[in-house]
Amino acid sequence: MAELLDLREVSKELKVSIHTLRAWAYQKKIPVVRLGRRVLLKRQDVEEFVSKNRIEAKESGMQSG
């Protein structure tokens, strides 16, 4: 079974507010699991979300020589 995390745990890991996580869930940017009133996130979904939103650094235009 997938590891489920509550919003507080994910907000600490990603260093974003719970409000931001709720907004992302409402905007369907990140999938959530609802159990009654609890909103939970699968660890795998959080990791995929971070991976998809990663922006690679550009190489500098400077050349040695």
CB-based contacts of 3, cutoff 8 Å, min separation 6? 42, 43, 44
For residue 63, what pLDDT is reported?
Answer: 66
For residue 45, what pLDDT is reported?
Answer: 97
Strand order in the sheet with 4-6: 4-6, 38-42, 33-35
For residue 62, what pLDDT is reported?
Answer: 66
For residue 58, what pLDDT is reported?
Answer: 87
3-state helix vs strand vs coil in the chain, percent to 5: 40, 15, 40
Please give the average pLDDT of every successive group of 10 residues along the chain, which has 65 residues: 94 97 96 96 97 89 63
For residue 59, what pLDDT is reported?
Answer: 82
